[in-house]
A = this chain, B = another copy of it.
């Protein structure tokens, strides 16, 4: 079937009238190649269909939430069964306690859990609790790290005031001196330190954190009686079944979770250690739908799959097959690929592609042949990505490398990107 986008174009025109800029937030395609589908119709497993009926193998997984594949039956059944009883009620259901107990049993550092909706809810709650803990103000964040879209952390500064950032101090990620220096500069007032499991910024190579650095972060927090927060919203359950810094010998005081913890159902969580419990019980945080029972039932089932199946080894294996395959194909076509980060959350950039024109060209060619990759954002594997999906994606990638090579001279950088990155 030939790729087409007539309906997509109509929808975009309608959206332009009733949604500012036609679309907003992380699912906006403004930064993606211009033909990228903005509106989707349905999905199943690792497959997604756009508004024109074009079918794709989707390596974005809804930007994370689909861990076990879209419409994964056991989770859908758990959700349906809870839905038949009740969802948004005048109080929580007992499934809230089951879920909190399960998180506490499963995540080594956790002694308690609080549930919310957005990843930003969980990180903001972590910030407020860290400040309440010893009544301090300063929060240390790594420069460029994404912790959500609230005034204290959103990456774009329109509408943000100096007050919103007055006590947010930035250091260089994975740089021991920079972190130690930030502690020194704000001695006596450091409330907490945010850390991502690994560095996963857009338009950049990803890299894992050094164990030495992670352990230093823990030690500095202990010495200052500040809380260490690991933000697992994006990477949770795609690196480990536990908190991802456990393997580095580091146990945080708080960890924020979201995206995939209920395989697409809307719920996020803040987990905490005993030390932070009193502070957590003094802050006032809430939301109209935070106590919905259906997403909690979906999360409980997702945790069971995480605990009892080889889902992690499956996505690691599929991710590695994709990575190895792409490496070989790129070489054969004379391209240098930089594939970084965990194979379950791949980032694919091209060597000698300063203005990203090769990457954008290749991703466009893949997309028109039925595979959705991102030219700047890390991607996500799900257990829906089986051998058939990886094989198909590699075939498509092969043709796309050839096509990009053929029209090399015509490639141009994306205009929005040129403006944004000052290229």
Residue ranges of A at the interface with B (Cβ–Cβ < 8 Å): 11, 14-15, 17-21, 23-27, 29, 37-43, 48, 50-51, 58, 60-66, 70-71, 85-94, 96-97, 100-101, 103-104, 111-114, 117-121, 124, 127-132, 137, 149-152, 154-156, 158-167, 233, 258-259, 264-266, 268, 272, 277-292, 372
Tell me the minimal C-beta distance from A135 to chain B in angstroms: 9
Q: How far is the CA of A127 from the CA of B163 in the complex (A)?
A: 14
18 pairs from A and B in contact (CB 8 Å cutoff): A15-B96, A15-B97, A20-B112, A24-B281, A25-B287, A25-B291, A38-B92, A51-B94, A62-B88, A62-B90, A90-B372, A117-B118, A117-B289, A118-B289, A128-B159, A130-B159, A149-B284, A154-B283
Tell me the minimal C-beta distance from A237 to chain B in angstroms: 14
With a CB–CB cut-off of 8 A, which chain B residues contact A43? 86, 89-90
Q: How far is the CA of A164 from the CA of B45 in the complex (A)?
A: 43
Q: Are B51 and A288 in contact (CB under 8 A)?
A: no
Tell me the minimal C-beta distance from A254 to chain B in angstroms: 11
Q: Are A149 and B286 in contact (CB under 8 A)?
A: yes
Task: Count the copies.
Answer: 2
With a CB–CB cut-off of 8 A, which chain B residues contact A101? 14, 17-18
Q: A293 — nearest CB in chain B belongs to which residue?
A: B40
Q: How far is the CA of A18 from the CA of B90 in the complex (A)?
A: 21
9 more A-B residue pairs beyond the given contacts A70-B86, A154-B285, with a C-beta to C-beta distance below 8 A: A15-B97, A24-B280, A39-B91, A48-B90, A117-B289, A124-B151, A128-B160, A149-B286, A163-B163
Q: Which of B118, B131, B162, B282 sits near A121, CB closer than 8 Å?
A: B118
Q: List the 4 closest pairs (A to B, CB-CB), nearest first.
A: A25-B286, A163-B166, A132-B159, A156-B284
Tell me the minimal C-beta distance from A137 to chain B in angstroms: 5
Q: How far is the CA of A287 from the CA of B120 in the complex (A)?
A: 7
Q: A90 — nearest CB in chain B belongs to which residue?
A: B60
With a CB–CB cut-off of 8 A, which chain B residues contact A152? 151
Q: Which of B40, B164, B258, B283 sits near A159, CB closer than 8 Å?
A: B283
With a CB–CB cut-off of 8 A, which chain B residues contact A158? 128, 132, 279, 282-284
Q: Are B18 and A97 in contact (CB under 8 A)?
A: yes
Q: Which of B58, B160, B268, B272 sits near A90, CB closer than 8 Å?
A: B58
Tell me the minimal C-beta distance from A372 to chain B in angstroms: 7
Tell me the minimal C-beta distance from A158 to chain B in angstroms: 4
Q: Are B94 and A21 in contact (CB under 8 A)?
A: no
Given A97-B11, A287-B149, A27 and B113 contact (CB-CB distance below 8 Å):
no
Given A89-B48, A90-B48, A158-B282, A112 and B18 contact (CB-CB distance below 8 Å):
yes
Q: Are B117 and A287 in contact (CB under 8 A)?
A: yes
Q: Are A118 and B58 in contact (CB under 8 A)?
A: no
Q: Which of B132, B155, B292 sits near A266, CB closer than 8 Å?
A: B292
Q: Are A91 and B38 in contact (CB under 8 A)?
A: yes
With a CB–CB cut-off of 8 A, which chain B residues contact A39? 91-94, 96-97
Q: How far is the CA of A119 from the CA of B278 in the complex (A)?
A: 26
Q: Which of B40, B65, B129, B161 sits near A289, CB closer than 8 Å?
A: B65
